[in-house]
Structure 1
Amino acid sequence: MNHKTAIALGFFDGVHLGHRSILRECVRLARELGAKPVAVTFDKQPRAFLNHVRPNLILTREDRERAILDEGIEEVVMLPFDYALASMKPETFVRDLLAGQYHCAAVVCGYNYSFGAMGKGNGALLRAMEEPLGFRTSVIEPVLYEDTAVSSTWIRRLIADGDVRLAGTLLGRPWTIGGVVSHGRGVGTGLGFPTGNLALDPDLVTPRYGVYAARMTLDGKPYACALNVGVRPTFGLTEPVAEFNVLGFSGDLYGRTVRLELLDFLREERIFDSPDSLSRQIGEDIARIGEIVNGPAQ
Structure 2
Amino acid sequence: MSKLFRDVEGRSPCPQGSVVCIGAFDGLHPGHRALVGHVLARARARGLAAVALSFEPLPREFFGGKQAPPRLLLPRAKFEGLRALGMDAVGLLRFNAAMAAMGAEEFVQRVLVQRLSAREVWVGPDFRFGHGRRGDLALLEQMGEALGFQAGAIAPVQSGGERVSSTVLRQRLADGDLEGVARVLGRRYAISGKVVRGKQLGRKLGYPTANLRLAGKRPALSGIYATWVHGIGPEPRASVSSLGTRPTVQGVEPLLEAHVFDFDGDLYGRRIEVEFVAKLRDEEKFDDLPALVRQMDLDAAQARRVLRHDMEKRGALA
Do Structure 1 and Structure 2 share a fold, with TM-score over 0.5? yes
CA contact (8 A) 1:227 1:244 kept: yes
Counterpart among 20, 23, 28 of residue 7 in structure 1: 20
Structure-2-length-normalised TM-score: 0.80
2:9 corresponding residue in structure 1: none
2:5 corresponding residue in structure 1: none
Cα distance, 1:18 vs structure 2: 0.7
2:301 corresponding residue in structure 1: 283
Q: Distance in 1 between matches of 2:145 and 2:244?
A: 54
Matches within 5 A, 1:1-298: 1=12, 2-53=15-66, 55=68, 56-177=70-191, 178-182=193-197, 186-187=201-202, 190=205, 194-201=207-214, 202-230=216-244, 236-239=248-251, 241-254=255-268, 256-269=270-283, 275=293, 279-280=297-298, 282-293=300-311, 295=313
Q: Match of 1:290, SS?
A: helix
2:4 corresponding residue in structure 1: none
Structure-1-length-normalised TM-score: 0.85
Q: CA offsets per residue over residues 120-176 of structure 1, 9 Å max, x none?
A: 111122222222222222201111112221111222222222223322333343322
Most deviating of 54-63 and 16-25: 54-63
Give the direction of change, closer, same or farther, for the CA distance of 1:6–1:21 in structure 2 (3 Å limit): same
CA contact (8 A) 2:28 2:81 kept: yes
Most deviating of 212-221 and 30-39: 212-221
User: What is the one-letter code of the residue matched to 1:11?
Assistant: A
How many residues in Structure 1 have an aligned counterpart in Structure 2?
294
Give the direction of change, closer, same or farther, for the CA distance of 1:293–1:123 in structure 2 (3 Å limit): farther
CA contact (8 A) 2:178 2:276 kept: yes
User: What is the one-letter code of the residue matched to 1:138?
Assistant: G
Query: Percent identity among equivalent residues?
Result: 27
CA contact (8 A) 1:181 1:257 kept: no
Q: Distance in 1 between matches of 2:210 and 2:62?
A: 30
Structure 1 gap ranges (5+): none
Q: Distance in 2 between matches of 1:90 and 1:280?
A: 55
User: What is the one-letter code of the residue matched to 1:21?
Assistant: A
CA contact (8 A) 2:182 2:189 kept: yes
Runs of 4+ in 1 over 4 A off after TM superposition: 183-191, 230-233, 269-278
Most deviating of 175-184 and 31-40: 175-184
2:6 corresponding residue in structure 1: none
Most deviating of 100-109 and 279-288: 279-288
**Over aligned residue pairs, what C-alpha RMSD do you find?**
2.9
Q: Match of 1:162, SS?
A: coil
User: What is the one-letter code of the residue matched to 2:33?
Assistant: R
Q: Distance in 2 between matches of 1:231 and 1:51?
A: 21
Q: Match of 1:8, SS?
A: strand
